[in-house]
Structure 1
């Protein structure tokens, strides 16, 4: 039984080798020699009593034990990094005023907010609807441009729109082409133009569905789709979690580019440390999702 684990340098070295996919690359990243890297890996394997890397002249391959350790170390180092950031930010106090589009607030904001609160445990957050966004906000997330002065960053991932429905609805009434939409209910969110854009992309003009339902925003349209009320237009950013969980499915092989990007707007320069940290977190999380 392993009584103690003193080889922390070895763990850090192994993680760098696995992450960089090579000893030379890891040595460069850690600013040490390749000989030092090999020594640390040998010592770590000796201490653990398990081979972590299959060595060859060309390729570096992790063993099953190595792959498992690499995955767990990634989570552990992320927690350590977060703990250090939290300790640094614990003394940062103040308030963050944030406004966002309603669908984003409902579908993506809470996971980002949870990360922010962990990093800044002494900050008060006030979230406002996009209709109240003005120059008093620290950060605004807007779908498309908004007539508010300030620094802005566009979320530059390839956002697309596509039709979605619940698995149950697709099972009961399969959709093989745009013509099949005549038997379905079309759910509309923020824009009444989303479905016509999809029809045009599919080489069709107007299609008369069984019924139209107009809802105040995209979040409610997607929630209605999950309940089997009809088909909604989803997007890469807003629907990522539902697609991952299987609560919504793409029901046609049809996608169009989003008409506008999301903009992260910084209307004012005071409260800079807190606002910049939140804005950077939004961009980081959305561009990697």
Structure 2
């Protein structure tokens, strides 16, 4: 049985042959050029063949060196792939989802503990942003987007339907004359980034004479919801985002008039991403949670 050369000598030769440069090989391996040259010479002595043609300012492989390099390059690639695979098994699977801050805080995060208890080996990372992020450039696996469900080149599955409802604190609802939508003319209207929602709702409710443009504007629905809870006015929000507050009694829905919207929250992703078991498992759980909601 032939004795294998040292691994360090083989690494030095493979790097030098790949770069055709002792200097670049040394930089990659974090050693000196002299150390690479010495290891390659020791390898040549052990094999009894010349691997390089050494010229004053260049390096070239001999025929034997080229054949040996082709085999070693494949062997090192296989070792790198095997190492990456076995270390990946030891790490938790990671997936990244982006959604608006309002959807993250009001809908997703309160439910996420159920998924973590069910699939503790999957690390879900949420990237809340009102910016539409790029899947490849931003390293995103899944996205929850608010829109009509038309996203070119992507799969879009309807997740949560939308219904706009006016809400306020129970104290404000009980202590004032908010018995009909027309009474909103005397109250502060709270807006999130969708300032067009109040005109839409008032038109559907058949309420004239209410200035839908007045009132503070919040960056996202979280601010409008918190302001409504604090009794600062009436917010028009998506029912799906205030289920906890309504169930706990910290918010109350005013009137029976809701406005169904053609908009909805969609789960959006590139088709190939479901080949990863962790992503497929999270998608299945997310759709099931939306169905229960």
Q: Alpha-carbon deviations, 1:233-252, whole Å to 9, x = none?
A: 12231111111111111112
Mapping of 1:11-160 within 5 angstroms? 93-130=92-129, 131=131, 133-136=133-136, 137-144=140-147, 145=149, 147=151, 149-155=153-159, 157=161, 159-160=162-163
CA contact (8 A) 1:166 1:227 kept: yes
CA offsets 1:163-185 (integer angstroms, 9 cap, x no match): 11000111221301222112111
Q: CA deviation at 1:255?
A: 0.7
| Structure 2 portions without partners, runs of 5+ | 1-88
Asked if structure 2 preserves the Cα contact closer than 8 Å seen for 1:91 and 1:122, the reply is: no
Q: 2:245 aligns with which of 242, 246, 250?
A: 242
Please report how far the alpha carbon of residue 211 of structure 1 lies from its aligned counterpart in structure 2 after TM superposition: 4.9
1:284 equivalent among 278, 283, 288: 288
**Residue 172, structure 1, aligned to residue 148, structure 2:** no
User: Structure 1, residues 173-201: CA drift from partner, whole Å, max 9, x if none?
Assistant: 13012221121110001211111011101
Partner of 1:202: 205
User: Contact 2:185 / 2:209 at 8 angstroms: preserved in 1?
Assistant: no
Asked if the contact 2:160/2:266 (under 8 Å) is kept, the reply is: no
Residue 37 of structure 1 corresponds to: none
Cα distance, 1:244–1:156 mapped onto 2, change above 3 Å = closer
Counterpart in the other structure of 1:76 = none
Do the aligned partners of 1:92 and 1:120 also contact (CA within 8 Å) in 2?
no
Structure-2 separation of matches of 1:168 and 1:184:
14
Deviations 1:20-56 (A, max 9, x none): xxxxxxxxxxxxxxxxxxxxxxxxxxxxxxxxxxxxx
> Given the alignment, which residue of 195, 215, 218 partners 1:192?
195
In 2, distance between residues paired with 1:125 and 1:92? 13
Structure 1 residue runs of 4 or more that deviate by more than 6 Å after TM superposition: none
Asked if 1:257 corresponds to 2:260, the answer is yes
Structure showing greater radius of gyration is: 2
2:272 match: secondary structure: coil
Contact (CA 8 Å) 1:199, 1:206: kept in 2 or not? no
For the residue of structure 2 that corresponds to 1:233, the secondary structure is strand
3-state DSSP class of the match of 1:229?
Answer: coil
Q: CA deviation at 1:141?
A: 0.7
TM-score, with normalisation over the residues of structure 2? 0.62
8 Å Cα contact 2:198/2:212 also seen in 1: no
